[in-house]
Copies of this chain bind each other. A is one copy, B any other.
Amino acid sequence: MSTQPQPSQTVLAEEECWELLAGQKIGRLATSVAGEPEIFPVSFAAADQRIFLRTKPGTKLAEVTISPRVAFEVDEIGDTSSWSVVVKGRAQVLERDADLDEARATGLVSYLEDGKTVWVRITPSEVSGRRLVPGEQR
């Protein structure tokens, strides 16, 4: 072990977190209702330091309406380096025209374009990121 590179973690600055988010299309949204966590893969857009999602009326949307505290994670896993960014904040279903215009301006295209007409915006209270470099023993 002593001659091998050691695994390392680096904390990312918030600005770098947003740059990384801007380059990705799919993240995972975690919600919690009555102490029960849920997790969903979702297409997203990052704009103006907020996260925009689209959904259909259903589970995901219902969770966000009942319990707006969410955690949203995006990562990129590679053999020699990886990163993960977590955005914690409040999710809000958008209804005002000005908000909807802003959301549509992101140009977000969902992976599954199946009638997702409802826009959700996550306003962060905390953004954190890490870059991981595994040791050679992997």
Give the distance to chain B from A107, nearest Cβ to Cβ, in Å. Answer: 13
For window 27-74 of A, CB contacts with B under 8 Å fall at: 28, 30-32, 35-41, 67, 69-73
Give the distance to chain B from A78, nearest Cβ to Cβ, in Å. Answer: 10
Indicate if the CB atoms of B39 and A9 lie closer than 8 Å: no
Indicate if the CB atoms of A7 and B114 lie closer than 8 Å: yes
4 A-B pairs with the lowest CB-CB distances in the bound complex, closest first: A32-B32, A30-B30, A30-B37, A30-B39
Chain B residues with CB under 8 Å of A67's CB are 35
Chain B residues with CB under 8 Å of A73's CB are 28, 39-41
For window 102-125 of A, CB contacts with B under 8 Å fall at: 109, 111-114
Partner of A70, one of B26, B31, B37, B111: B37
For window 6-35 of A, CB contacts with B under 8 Å fall at: 6-7, 9, 26, 28, 30-32, 35
Indicate if the CB atoms of A71 and B112 lie closer than 8 Å: no
Chain B residues with CB under 8 Å of A138's CB are 109, 111, 113
Chain B residues with CB under 8 Å of A70's CB are 37
Indicate if the CB atoms of B32 and A77 lie closer than 8 Å: no
A127 adjacent to chain B (CB < 8 Å): no
Indicate if the CB atoms of A113 and B84 lie closer than 8 Å: no
- Please, which residue of chain B has its CB at the minimum distance from the CB of A31? B37
